[in-house]
Amino acid sequence: MQEAQLTFFGGVGKSGGVQVLYGKGKQGLLFDFGVEHSSLLFPTQVTLFEPVNATPGRELRQFLLGGMTAPLPELYDAQQMEGLDWAAVRRVWENREFPDYDRIHLYIGHMHTDHMALLPFAHPDLPVYMSHDSYSLFRGMVAGRHSKDTGAKITTCDDLTVVDFGEFTMQVVEMDHNATGASGIIIDDGTHRIAYTGDWRRQGKHPDKIDRFIRLCHSKPIDVLITEGTRLTSDPSTVPLQITEEALLASFAEIVREAEGLVYLQMSPRDLERMADMIAIAADQGKSIVMEASLAAVWHTANREGLQVLHGHPALDVPVQVIDTTMADGIEVPYPAVSLEEVAERKPEIVYFFKFPDLAHMIELETLGGPQGQSHFIQSDYSVKIEHAAVSKFLNAYAITGHSLSNGGHAHPEALASLIGSIAPKTVITLHSRFPVSQDTRGVKPYFPVKGETVPVSSILEAAASGVNR
C-alpha cells in the first residue's frame, strides 16, 4: 500500500494560493484551491480597479499554463480546457511525475479568492467539501456576481464533522478569520496526523476557536502542523499588533454616533459577521442602511442559505435599501430601491455600504441635497486602502473625514509562534508566506517544501528528527 505523502502545488514561499495534496493508498485530499497573490494573473475581484485578469473563456487554460494551479486534469471541467496541450502544462512543472489516486477529494477552507478561485472550473464529479457557512457565503458570492458558480458536487460540513475517506479521516474545525465560515482540518490515517490551520488570527471575534483547535491537536497528537504565515517579515519583531475586533467595532460605533453627514463604508463582503455587527450598530444609532446591489445580494443570499454564525443576530431584522443605479441584470434582491438623489436629501441618516468602483457616487451625494454636515469615509479591511490615490482625491475634494478600521485576517508572528509551541508537533510547515524561514517555531523543527515536491510524511518526520532543514 502506498504510504502517506504530501505534494505541494501552491503557497510555497508565496502569499496565498495554498494547494497541498495529501494522499494515502488510492485516496487523495487536496486543500485548498486558490491562486497566489503574486501570480502572473489574479482572479477578478469586484473590489479592485483594473486587475490583470485571465482572458474570459480561457481562464483555466491560462492558470494551468502559467503554473498557477495543480496540473491534475481530473480536477477540472474538461469543457473548459478542451484542446489544451497537456505536454506544455507538464513542461511548466519540469515534467515531474505526480501521484495517481483513484479518487481525489477537495476541501476548501474559506471563501477568499486566493483559496477558492479554481472552484468555478472544477470537474462536475469532483467531490468538494467545505463548512456550512462557507457554502452559504459562496452562494451569496455567486448571487452578487463576486464569483462564477461551480458544477462540482459540494458537501457541507458542520463544525467538528469527521469525514471518513477509507484510507484516512478528515475532521473539520472552525477557525477565526475575516472570511465567514473559515475552517481548518485535521487528517488522521491511523499512523500519522496532519493539522492544517487554514488562514487564522487571534485578534478577531473568536480567539476561543483557536484555543479549541490547539486542544484538539493536543488530543491527537499532531505529527505535521501546516500553518499560514502571512504576516511574517524578514524581521517579525517589527510587525505591529492589530486591534481586536471588539475595539474595532467600538470605534465604528463612535464614528457613526458622532457623524453629522453621510457615512460611507467600504468593507470586505466576505466578512459577513462584521457586516452584521456594523449593520446592528448603525441601526442602534438610528441610521438607515443603504447598500450597493452586489453587496446586498451577497448579504441576502448568504443569510437565506442559513448562516449558522448569524443565527438570531439582530441585523437580520434591519431594513435594507439598494442604490438603484447599482442594480445589474441577473442580480436580484428583495430590498426596495433608493436613488442617489433621495439619499442625498437625508445624508445624516445613512450608512452606505459601497464598493470602490462606485466612488463617482460621491459627486452627486456630496453636491446634492444641500449642506447637512461633514461626511465620513470608513475603510474596514477592504482590498483598496484609504491611502489609494483615487480614494484620497475624493476625500480631499469633498472634505470627507477618512478612517481606517482594520485588523486583518492573519495571525501576528508571536501568535504563530505561540500556536506552534502549544501544539508541539513533530515538525511544522509554514505556507502562505514569503518569509517562512523567519518563523519562531519554539524549538519545533521546521520543514521547508519546494513547489511541485512530493514527499512521504515519514521522510518529513525523519528530516525533522535528524535536524536537517529543507
Taking a C-beta distance cutoff of 8 angstroms, is the pair 260, 230 a contact? Answer: no
Q: What is the mean pLDDT of residues 385-398?
A: 94
DSSP codes joined into one string, 271-321: -HHHHHHHHHHHHHTTPEEEE-HHHHHHHHHHHHT--GGGTT-GGGGS-EE
230 CB-near residues (< 8 Å, 6+ apart): 15, 16, 199, 410, 411, 432, 433
Strands (E), 113-152: 127-131
Percent residues over pLDDT 70 in the chain: 97
The CATH number of whichever domain residue 329 belongs to comes to: 3.40.50.10710
Rounded to whole angstroms, the Cα distance separating 70 from 114 reads 14
Same domain as 183, residue 84: yes
* Burial (0-12, 13-18, 19+ Cβ within 10 Å), 81: buried
Q: Which residues pair with 427 in a beta bridge?
A: 224, 445
Same domain as 59, residue 164: yes
Q: Is the pLDDT of residue 407 over 60?
A: yes
The total number of structural domains in the chain stands at: 2
How many other CB atoms sit within 10 Å of the CB of residue 238? Answer: 8
Select from 363, 389, 404 the last residue of a domain. 404
Same domain as 414, residue 399: no
Same domain as 31, residue 70: yes
227 compared with 219, residue with greater pLDDT = 227
Determine the structural domain holding residue 259 and report its residue range: 245-404
Same domain as 288, residue 176: no
The CATH number of whichever domain residue 134 belongs to comes to: 3.60.15.10
Same domain as 371, residue 282: yes
Q: What angle do CA 397, 399, 404 make, to 5 degrees?
A: 105
Q: Is the pLDDT of residue 47 over 70?
A: no
Tell me the per-residue pLDDT of 196-218, one tens digit each, with 9 for 90 and over.
999 999 999 999 999 999 999 99
What does the pLDDT read at residue 46? 58
Q: Are strands 224-228 and 193-196 parallel, antiparallel or unpaired?
A: parallel
Tell me the per-residue pLDDT of 260-269, one tens digit each, with 9 for 90 and over.
999 999 999 9
What does the pLDDT read at residue 328? 86
DSSP codes joined into one string, 370-407: ---S--EEEEES-SS-TTSHHHHHHHHHTTPEEEE---
Confidence of residue 50 (pLDDT cuts 50, 70, 90): low
Long-range Cβ contacts of 84-92 (<8 Å, 24+ apart): 89/64, 89/65, 92/64, 92/65, 92/66, 92/67
121 CB-near residues (< 8 Å, 6+ apart): 59, 60, 63, 76, 77, 80, 150
Same domain as 76, residue 187: yes
Select from 384, 404, 424 the last residue of a domain. 404
Same domain as 215, residue 188: yes
Same domain as 249, residue 180: no
What does the pLDDT read at residue 42? 65
Select from 404, 429, 454 the last residue of a domain. 404
Same domain as 398, residue 416: no
* Burial (0-12, 13-18, 19+ Cβ within 10 Å), 298: buried
Kindly tell me the sign of the dihedral angle through the C-alpha atoms of 459, 464, 466, 470. positive
Taking a C-beta distance cutoff of 8 angstroms, is the pair 340, 368 a contact? Answer: yes
Q: Is the pLDDT of residue 371 over 60?
A: yes
What does the pLDDT read at residue 370? 82
112 CB-near residues (< 8 Å, 6+ apart): 16, 34, 179, 199, 270, 409
Same domain as 193, residue 94: yes
Q: What is the mean pLDDT of residues 180-196?
A: 98
Q: Which three cell numbers stand for residue 177?
A: 478569520
Q: What is the mean pLDDT of residues 227-240?
A: 96
Residue type, 92: V
Q: Which residues pair with 171 in a beta bridge?
A: 162, 186
What does the pLDDT read at residue 197? 98
Tell me the per-residue pLDDT of 131-182, one tens digit each, with 9 for 90 and over.
999 999 999 999 999 999 999 999 999 999 999 999 999 999 999 999 999 9
Tell me the per-residue pLDDT of 247-294, one tens digit each, with 9 for 90 and over.
999 999 999 999 999 999 999 999 999 999 999 999 999 999 999 999
78 CB-near residues (< 8 Å, 6+ apart): 123
Q: Is the pLDDT of residue 338 over 90?
A: yes
Same domain as 441, residue 384: no
Taking a C-beta distance cutoff of 8 angstroms, is the pair 127, 101 a contact? Answer: no
Rounded to whole angstroms, the Cα distance separating 340 from 318 reads 21
The overall average pLDDT reported for the chain is: 95
